[in-house]
Amino acid sequence: MTVANKETLDFQAEIKQLLKLMIHSLYSNKEIFLRELISNASDASDKLRFEAINQPSLYESDSELAIQVAFDPTAKTISITDNGIGMSRDEVIANLGTIAKSGTKEFFSKLSGDQQKDATLIGQFGVGFYSGFIVADRVTVESRKAGLTAEEGVRWESAGDGEFTIEAITRAKRGTTIILHLKPEEEELLSSWKLKSIIRKYSDHISIPIQMFKEEWDEKESKQVVTSELENVNEASALWTRNKNDITEEQYQEFYKSISHDFEAPLCYSHNRVEGRSEFTQLLFVPKKAPFDLWDRSKRSGLKLYVKRVFIMDDSEQLMPSYLRFVAGVIDSADLPLNVSREILQESRDVKFIRESSSKRVLNMLDDLANNEDEAKRAQYQDFWNEFGQVLKEGTGEDAPNLEKIAGLLRFASTQNDSEAQTTSLKEYVERMKEGQEKIYYVTAESYLAAKNSPHLEIFKKKGIEVLLLTDRVDEWMLSYLTEFNGKALASVAKGGLDLGDLADEKEKEEQIEAEKQYTFLLQKMKKTLENKAKDVRITLRLTDSPACLIADENELSGNLLRMLKAAGQQAPDTKPILEINPDHPLVKKIESTTDHFDDWTHILFDQALLAEGGHIEDPGSFVKRINQMLLM
C-alpha cells in the first residue's frame, strides 16, 4: 500500500516469530534493549570512522562521534541517536525487515515453545534491534546515510505486528535515531536516573561518549528539571585499552555480552598487551554456550579488529583459526595500517603472529580450566567440552603446531565408564594403561551403543584393557592427524594385525597358530564363497562371544569411515573388509562340520558381522531369506 510516499511492507516470516517469542521470553531481562540499541549505535559510529579514513568528507563537519539517549515524559518515548554511518532506504528495508544470518531457518525450527529454554536460544541467536519491542509497542527509526543529501532521509515505523511502513523524510543530520514509544507499563523507564543506571551497568565500556541531558534542581518548581546541557554518562574509553586493574569483573562481563549479544557471562577471558616484535592488545572471551550457528564452518569468528582503537572490521577470520571460531573479543593492533583490507590481512606477518598468539592464549585458558586443582574449574571445562568439544577436535588437523596441547584437551567416552559422556582425557587413559600395554586403543562407530557393543571389544573386555569409544562425525578425520599421545600410538581395535604387544600371552599365540592350521581348509572354502565380499578370511582370538567380525586392513580406511564418506556423497575406495572368525564359537564349529548350506551359513556369518559394526547389508532380502530358511531347519 502506498500513501503519498509512505509504503507498507511485510516483515520476513521469521521476524514475526522472533518478535512474538522475544517479547515473552526476554521480558524478565528487558533492560537489555538499551544495551542492544546502544551497541548498534556504537557499531554504526565505528563503521563511519572506518569509511572516513579514505573519505573524510563523510564527516560533514561533524566528526565528534557520540550517542545521545533522551526521553520525553509527555510523549512517553525514549530515543537513541547516533551520528554514525546511517542507513539508506534500501538498507533500512533490508536490515530491519529481514534477518540475513545463515542458519536462521534451522534456528527457528529448534525453538520449543518453552519460554525459559527459548530465551537462552534467543540469547544465542542475538536479538539486536528487535529487542526495542520488549518495552515499546511502536518503534520509529529515522535515518540518513552519511554521504547522502538531507532529502534522502528515511523513516521506518512498526508496531511489531508483522508489517512496517517506510517513507522519505528530510533529515539534516546524518546518522540514526531510534524512537521507542513505550508500552504503558514501562513508564518507569522515563527517568534520568533509571536510564543512566542502565547505561552504566550495560554500556559503560562503549568507546564513544553516551550522552544525556543534564538534570538540575529547580528551586521555583522544587523538582529536578532537564536542562539543554549534555553530559557524558559512560566512561567512554575503549575497555581493552584500560589497565586490567581498573576493570571490574562485571565490566568485562558486560563488555562481552555487548560484543557477542550473548545473555550469559563468558566462561573465561584473557586480556593482554603483547609487546615486542608486534604490538597489540588482545581481549579474548570463551563463551559458555555454543552459538546456534557453531557448526557452520563458514561462520566467521567473533573477533573484532581495531587498529590503534579505530574499528576496522568484524568477523575477521584471519585472526583466529576456524576451530576456535567460538571465541569472541577484540584485537587492537598498533602495527597494521588503518586502510588494511581483508586481502592484506591474509598476507600480513603481523596478523599471522596475532593469530598464533591468540590461539595459544585460548588454548592456555582452556588448559588452565581443564587441569585446574579446583574441581569446580574442571567441571567448568567439562561443560565447555560438552558444548564445544567437537569443534575443538577440528584443531587436530587445522593447527599442527598446537597438536599436543589440543590432544591434552580432548575428552572421550570410554569403556572405563558406563556412560556416553565424554570425560576421559588421553592423559588419564595413559595413566590407567596396563603393564605391558603400549598403545591407546579406540573403536569408532556411528553411535555410542554400536561402539560399546562392538564385537571388536571382546578381547579387550576379557583382558580388562580400556578402549576409547569414538562416535562423533569428526573423529575419523581427527584420527588421521592424531596418531599418538605422549609417545603412545593410537590404535584402532577394528584394524588388522591386532598386536596386543606384551598383553597377548604366549599360550594364546600358540593357540592361534594351531587354530589356523586346523581350520586351513574351512578358511579356504569360506574365502571362495565370499570372494566378492571379503578380501580374506582369518582366524582370530579377539572374539570371545561373537562368532565373527569384520576388520580393515592395517593401511586401509575403516568400515566406519568408508560408510561416512559414502553417506556424504564422497568418493570412497572400493575396499573389501577381512572376515575374522572365532574358532571357539559353536556357530563356527557348526559350519565347519556341516555339508549342507555351507554357502548360506558363510554369507550369514559375514552379513551379521557387518550388521554388528553398524554396516548396511547390500542385499538384505537374501539375508532375510537365508535366515528364515535356517530357522526352519
Q: Does 291 bind ligand ATP (CB under 6 A)?
A: no
Among 25, 68, 104, 176, binds ligand ATP (CB under 6 A): 176
Residues with Cβ within 8 Å of 317's Cβ and at least 6 positions away in sequence, in order, are: 300, 301, 325
Which residues have CB under 8 Å from 246's CB, separation 6+? none
82 near ligand ATP, judged by CB under 6 A: yes
Cell numbers describing residue 447 = 553411535
For position 87 contacting ligand ATP by CB under 6 A, the verdict is yes
Q: Does 126 bind ligand ATP (CB under 6 A)?
A: yes
Rounded to a whole number of angstroms, the minimum distance from the CB of residue 609 to ligand ATP is 51
**Cβ neighbours for 404, distance < 8 A, ≥ 6 positions apart:** none
Least distance from C-beta 458 to ligand ATP, angstroms? 51
Q: What angle do CA 325, 122, 34 make, to 5 degrees?
A: 95
Q: Which stretch binds ligand ATP (CB under 6 A): 124-132, 353-361, 508-516, 589-597?
A: 124-132
The answer to the question of whether 439 is labelled as a binding residue is no
Residue 603: count other Cβ atoms within 10 Å of its Cβ.
Answer: 20
Cβ distance to ligand ATP smaller for residue 138 or 589: 138
Whether 86 has a binding-site annotation, put simply, is no
User: Contact at 8 Å (CB) between 471 and 451?
Assistant: yes
Min separation Cβ 77 and ligand ATP, Å: 16
Nearer to ligand ATP, 43 or 580 (CB): 43
Residue 40 in contact with ligand ATP, rule: CB under 6 A: yes
Rank residues 328 and 403 by Cβ distance to ligand ATP and give the closer one.
Answer: 328
Report the residue number, 86 or 395, with the smaller CB distance to ligand ATP. Answer: 86
* Residue 615 annotated as lining a ligand binding site: no
Instruction: Identify residue 450 by its one-letter amino acid code.
Output: A
Q: Which is nearer to ligand ATP, 95 or 357 (CB)?
A: 95
Of 462, 394, 468, the C-alpha closest to 427 is 468
Least gap, CB of 126 to ligand ATP (angstroms): 3
**Is 103 marked as a binding-site residue?**
yes
Q: Does 108 bind ligand ATP (CB under 6 A)?
A: no
Residue 128 annotated in ligand binding:
yes
Calpha distance 365→370 (Å, rounded): 9
Do the annotations mark residue 87 as ligand-binding?
yes
Of 85, 267, 313, 445, the one binding ligand ATP (CB under 6 A) is: 85
Check residue 95 for interaction with ligand ATP (CB under 6 A).
yes
The nearest distance, CB 305 to ligand ATP, in angstroms, is 16
Name the amino acid, one letter, at 215: E
**Packed helices 598-612 and 520-529: angle between N→C axes, nearest 10 degrees:** 80
Q: Smaller CB distance to ligand ATP: residue 15 or 365?
A: 15
Per CB under 6 A, the list member of 155, 257, 261, 495 interacting with ligand ATP is: 261
3-state secondary structure 535-588: CEEEECCCCCCCCEEEEECCCCCCHHHHHHHHHCCCCCCCCCCEEEECCCCHHH
| Rounded-to-integer distance, Cα 582 and Cα 519, Å | 11
Report the residue number, 32 or 407, with the smaller CB distance to ligand ATP: 32
> What are 143's three cell numbers?
535515518
Half-sphere exposure of 177 (CA within 13 A, CB side): 19
318 is in an annotated binding site: no
CB-side neighbour CA atoms (13 Å) of 624: 4
- What is the size of the binding site for ligand ATP (CB under 6 A)? 16
The DSSP bridge partners found for residue 136 are: 182
- The yes or no reply on residue 321 touching ligand ATP (CB under 6 A) is no
Find the binding residues for ligand ATP in span 496-515 (CB under 6 A).
none
Q: Which of 108, 129, 263, 481 binds ligand ATP (CB under 6 A)?
A: 129
| Helix spans in 174-260 (H) | 192-203, 249-260
Among 18, 32, 38, 41, binds ligand ATP (CB under 6 A): 41
For residues 144 and 30, the answer to whether their CB atoms sit within 8 Å is no
Residue whose C-beta lies closest to ligand ATP: 128
Cα–Cα dist 102/96, whole Å: 16
Q: Report the nearest approach of ligand ATP to the CB of residue 261 (Å).
A: 5
Please check whether residue 537 is in contact with residue 609, taking contact to mean a CB–CB distance below 8 angstroms: no
Nearer to ligand ATP by Cβ, of 178 and 468: the residue is 178
Q: How far is CA 588 from CA 158, 159, 591, in A?
A: 75, 75, 5
Nearest-approach distance from CB 365 to ligand ATP, in angstroms: 24
Q: Least Å distance between CB 330 and ligand ATP?
A: 15
Minimal distance in Å, beta carbon 85 to ligand ATP?
6
Q: Per the annotation, does 101 bind a ligand? A: yes
Alpha-carbon gap, residue 299 to 522, rounded angstroms: 56
CA distances from 572 to 420, 451, 567 (A): 29, 22, 10
Torsion angle, alpha carbons of 560, 562, 564, 565, to 10: 160
Is residue 179 within 8 A of residue 139, CB to CB? The reply is: yes
Question: Residue 271 has which C-alpha cell?
Answer: 586480556
- Binding region for ligand ATP (CB under 6 A) out of 39-47, 114-122, 263-271, 327-335: 39-47
Annotated binding residue 40: yes
Shortest Cβ 205–ligand ATP spacing (Å): 16
Determine if 301 is a binding residue for ligand ATP (CB under 6 A): no
Closest CB 260 distance from ligand ATP, rounded Å: 8
Give the nearer residue to ligand ATP in terms of CB position, either 86 or 287.
86
Binding residues: 36, 40, 82, 87, 95, 101-103, 124-129, 176, 342
Residues of this chain that bind ligand ATP (CB under 6 A)? 40-41, 44, 82, 84-87, 95-96, 126, 128-130, 176, 261
Binding residues for ATP: 36, 40, 82, 87, 95, 101-103, 124-129, 176, 342
